Structure 1
Amino acid sequence: MTISFYGAAQSVTGSKHLVTLENGKRILLDCGLTQGMGEKSEERNRSFDFEPENLTCLILSHAHIDHSGLIPKLVRDGYQGPIYCTPPTLELCQLLLRDSARIQQNNSSTEPLYTEEDAEQALQQFVTVPYDEPFQIDEDIELLFTDTGHVLGSAAINLRLQDEGRERTLCFSGDIGRFANRILNPPQAFPQAEIIICESTYGNRVHDSLENTEERLQKIVQEVCVERQGKLLIPAFSIGRTQELIYSLNYLAEEGRLPEVKVFVDSPLSVYATDIMRENPQYFRDSMQEYIKDDPDPFGFPQLTYITEVDDSKELNKIEEPCVIISASGMMEAGRIQHHLKTNLPDPNSAVLVTGYCEPSTLGGKLMNGADKVHVLGEEVEVRAEMMIMKEYSAHADYGDIAKFLHCQDKEQIQRIFLVHGEKSVMGQLKDDLTELGYQNIEIPEFRLSYVV
């Protein structure tokens, strides 16, 4: 059996890992868009390092674009087989892939990677498999999804494979969530595996505690919107991060501690994704199940307005009163957040609150690194607004979460661990720390490198 790493190898985006059995069957784990790497992104997104038509199947860990965003191109380039995922992941991909296709077609500066027609064809090939139910793909491949608590529908991909007359077991973690997540179930234990492909995004750090998250957010809203009379812009991923933020603001509103300012969610994708969250409470953790008995809508409160129409978004840019604006995208590379940044970055009374990872080369990364001028929508904009950071909202596991996720495994039975989805320096630290815990044979694969296991 061979594993080839065609994305998220010593980097964070573009997740793509190819498992090839000795009999020639080829299993692709994720098919994500590479982002934030300049010309490298364009090069990696334009062509595959394998023949799509020769794949046996594609298995998707979750809906985020850096894991799913090249699926329509895979189909456009000849893949006709099944795409396996959990039911909520399909619901979210119906939003994300159609939206991604529209963005591709509306970008007049480059040839689109794929069209809306390609996205629709890809969605026809999806096959949903519930959590915790073994699924026989064929006589050599058995699939089991276990919940990782990263976003709605996220799963570790557990494979039981027949390879040259012997059984092999492999787990691809996908993205691991946090055990302290307030909305979704924590990461679940997964079956014993010989080979583990494990994410490492924040594997070199320990996140700030979630205990005082709402208190910190309340103080920031108070300072920016009440004391300074400015606007608070919160760039946020449409799926996961936006709902966490709304939940926190809703909690403050229910407690009577949210300052009397209006809150806007200005992103059609975020609005529709929030609707999907509302419709899937069965995936919420027990404490959240109890919470919604008293507050049936944890994603709505009187001061909150959801915006989908373009004209309403333009009007929001014109208002002068203090407010909170949550808008996509999280790295600030696209979406309506760019219009709000262009309007409000020159205002020293306003602030931008970053709540997640930004690739250094993205607009968000440049702002976080202290740029005093940036280009937004083709214009140079002076940065006078304050940059703020809250790391509590990260949906990715930290070192403690990763160690806890792996704790269900018998170390003696693990033959190899591959660290992916992280920067090289982070992986190096995580490798050292896991080695100290007794894990052995830990690899940090390079892009396009293959291993016989």
Structure 2
Amino acid sequence: MKISFLGAAGEVTGSQHLIETDSRRILLDCGLFQGHREESYLKNSQFAYPPESLDAVFLSHGHMDHCGNIPQLYNKGFRGPVFCTSSTADIAEIMLKDSARIQEEDARYLARKLTEKHPPIEPLYSEDDVNEVAKLFERLDYHEWHELGDDLKVRFLDAGHILGSAIIEMKIKDQREWRHIVFTGDLGRRDLPLLRDPEPIEGCEVLISESTYGNRVHEKASDMKEELFQILDEAYRVEGRVIIPAFSLGRTQQIIYYLNDLYNEKRLPYIPIFVDSPLSTRLVSVFRHHIHDMDDEVKNVIESDKDPFGFSLLNYVSSREESIALNKRKGAFVVIAGSGMCENGRVRHHLKNGIEQLETTIVLMGYQAAYTLGRRLINRDPKVKIFDRYYEVKAKVVQLSGLSGHADVEDFMWWYEESAKQGNIGQVFLVHGEPESSKALSALIRDQCDLEPVIPHYQQSFEI
């Protein structure tokens, strides 16, 4: 058996791992590489194997760095099944259609900017490609072993990262011998709102494990609700606006859930709350539909509150005109809009109109990458550029990081210890992490594994 690491090896983007046996060629994830434009286009437009030769893709979850290049795979000839959970299938279809739209808009914009001699920039795929890919999704339930042939069995366990995320456990026959492989996808944390905790495995021969925060301890998610209350209470008193740039998938729904909790507890100040993101609104519909995939706390809530993503002070903004009207609104209100690092989307318009007001509070959720507007705000730059002009930062800037969906040092240690109690863990490959994080996790888990963990390089292959 051969395993090739074709993305998210030594970095945290473009998840893609190829498993080859004497009778099967299987891909774990097919994510978009996200980085500098030219490098991204080169990596995303080429595959290290003929796509039509793949028997199947197994998709861990619906984030773009894990599912975002499946339509390009289809474009190049892949026609096999894409196995995933039902929630992931619905989320991925929405995310991929949004990605196709953004690529087409970017291509039109660049076509106006490039010289005549420059070759045209083409989108990696279209919405038509996404529609065809959606037909390939095959939905598998959690926990049940699914027989996918006389040489392949698969089971999904809960990864606890986002709605529908799965640990992929696979038993595959190679040279008449059964091999036991597990891929964590993105491993989540315990006690996150909405999500069930990640589930330990019962040992395995080969483990492909993410390592994003193998050297970090997160703040506790349980503190987030109280911090949101304090921010909204102050905004109510000073009649200021609260701007929350938030990722459309996962983070926005968790914030709404906490605000709904405060409303049910009769603690939420009387402040109108606007979700100004069409993508977030579409994804909320998926969360409502798959509420049975959420944790026991949510199931308890819906016994008395049928919709934990809706209450009288919450408004979902759909039209551009409604969004523009918010910028002229007076008094206290909250607007939640994409994107999480303030680089795109409607949130930039809200920041432009509120950043020079002392009464405004900007609430940044989680990690802000270098060179983004979010990072400049965290760094307390006195002036920041939004669109084509500079604005003085007079607003209060707050960073809340308790909702990170990735396992930290404590979660990894718990998960590996619990898994090792149930069975031996053989060879571990650490992916989806910067080198420092992967090395730190390797040292942390060494005693739980039979062999020294390996940190593969991009396009490196191993015979098992």
Q: Which residue of 2 aligns with 1:105?
A: 104
Distance in 1 between the 2:232 and 2:383 partners? 25
- Native 8 Å contact 1:36 1:361 kept in 2: no
Task: Tell me the secondary structure at the aligned position of residue 298 of structure 1.
Answer: coil
- Native 8 Å contact 1:415 1:441 kept in 2: no
Query: What is the aligned counterpart of 1:329 among 333, 339, 363?
Result: 339
- Native 8 Å contact 1:53 1:79 kept in 2: yes
CA deviation profile, 1:211-253 (whole Å, cap 9, x unmatched): 3321111112233x23444322212222211111011111112
Question: 1:20 is aligned with what amino acid?
Answer: E
Report the Cα offset of residue 39 of structure 1. 3.9
CA deviation profile, 1:264-304 (whole Å, cap 9, x unmatched): 11111111211221222211222221122122221112111
Q: Does 1:355 align with 2:355?
A: no
Report the Cα offset of residue 44 of structure 1. 2.0
Report the Cα offset of residue 311 of structure 1. 1.7
Distance in 1 between the 2:151 and 2:388 partners? 52
Which range is displaced more, 227-236 or 256-265?
227-236
- Native 8 Å contact 2:416 2:445 kept in 1: no
- Native 8 Å contact 1:204 1:399 kept in 2: yes
Which range is displaced more, 40-49 or 64-73?
40-49
Report the Cα offset of residue 129 of structure 1. 1.0
- Native 8 Å contact 1:232 1:325 kept in 2: yes
- Native 8 Å contact 1:234 1:327 kept in 2: yes
Which range is displaced more, 260-269 or 308-317?
308-317
Q: Which residue of 1 aligns with 2:117?
A: none
Query: What is the aligned counterpart of 2:304 among 277, 294, 298?
Result: 294
Distance 1:333 1:132, change over 3 A: same
Q: Which residue of 2 aligns with 1:312?
A: 322
- Native 8 Å contact 1:236 1:356 kept in 2: no
Report the Cα offset of residue 364 of structure 1. 2.9
Number of equivalenced pairs: 451
Residues 66-215 of structure 1 mapped to structure 2, 5 A cutoff: 66-107=65-106, 108=108, 109=110, 110-215=121-226
Residues 434-449 of structure 1 mapped to structure 2, 5 A cutoff: 434-435=445-446, 440-449=451-460
Q: Does 1:243 align with 2:253?
A: yes
Which range is displaced more, 105-114 or 438-447?
438-447
Distance in 2 between the 1:303 and 1:394 partners? 26
Residues 248-259 of structure 1 mapped to structure 2, 5 A cutoff: 248-259=258-269
Report the Cα offset of residue 87 of structure 1. 0.8
Q: Which residue of 1 aligns with 2:116?
A: none
Question: 1:147 is aligned with what amino acid?
Answer: D
- Native 8 Å contact 1:84 1:129 kept in 2: yes
Percent identity reads 39
Q: Which residue of 2 aligns with 1:279?
A: 289
Distance 1:364 1:19, change over 3 A: farther
Q: Which residue of 2 aligns with 1:2?
A: 2
Distance in 1 between the 2:369 and 2:162 partners? 20
- Native 8 Å contact 1:25 1:56 kept in 2: yes
Report the Cα offset of residue 197 of structure 1. 0.9
Distance in 1 between the 2:386 and 2:30 partners? 29
Report the Cα offset of residue 406 of structure 1. 2.4
Distance in 2 between the 1:369 and 1:10 partners? 27
Report the Cα offset of residue 27 of structure 1. 0.9
Task: Tell me the secondary structure at the aligned position of residue 392 of structure 1.
Answer: coil
Task: Tell me the secondary structure at the aligned position of residue 327 of structure 2.
Answer: helix
Distance 1:114 1:228, change over 3 A: same
CA deviation profile, 1:11-59 (whole Å, cap 9, x unmatched): 22211111122x2622111111122445433332232233212211111
Which range is displaced more, 431-440 or 348-357?
431-440
Distance in 2 between the 1:58 and 1:415 partners? 24
Which range is displaced more, 262-271 or 362-371?
362-371
Q: Which residue of 1 aligns with 2:114?
A: none
- Native 8 Å contact 2:15 2:432 kept in 1: yes
Distance 1:18 1:87, change over 3 A: same
Report the Cα offset of residue 156 of structure 1. 0.6
- Native 8 Å contact 1:204 1:429 kept in 2: yes
Distance in 1 between the 2:460 and 2:397 partners? 38
Distance in 2 between the 1:384 and 1:213 partners? 24
Distance in 1 between the 2:141 and 2:162 partners? 15
Report the Cα offset of residue 386 of structure 1. 3.2
Report the Cα offset of residue 164 of structure 1. 1.3
Question: 1:2 is aligned with what amino acid?
Answer: K
Distance 1:435 1:124, change over 3 A: same
Q: Does 1:410 align with 2:410?
A: no
Task: Tell me the secondary structure at the aligned position of residue 445 of structure 1.
Answer: coil
Report the Cα offset of residue 361 of structure 1. 4.1
Query: What is the aligned counterpart of 1:400 among 406, 410, 433?
Result: 410
Report the Cα offset of residue 438 of structure 1. 5.8
Structure 2 residue runs of 5 or longer lacking an equivalent are: 111-120
Q: Which residue of 2 aligns with 1:34?
A: 33
Which range is displaced more, 343-352 or 25-34?
343-352
- Native 8 Å contact 1:214 1:249 kept in 2: yes
Aligned-pair Cα RMSD in Å: 2.1
- Native 8 Å contact 1:8 1:421 kept in 2: yes
Q: Does 1:391 align with 2:401?
A: yes
Q: Which residue of 1 aligns with 2:228?
A: 217
Distance in 1 between the 2:132 and 2:257 partners? 35
Question: 2:246 is aligned with what amino acid?
Answer: A
- Native 8 Å contact 1:331 1:365 kept in 2: yes
Report the Cα offset of residue 177 of structure 1. 1.8
Report the Cα offset of residue 206 of structure 1. 2.1
Report the Cα offset of residue 385 of structure 1. 3.0
Distance in 2 between the 1:217 and 1:41 partners? 36
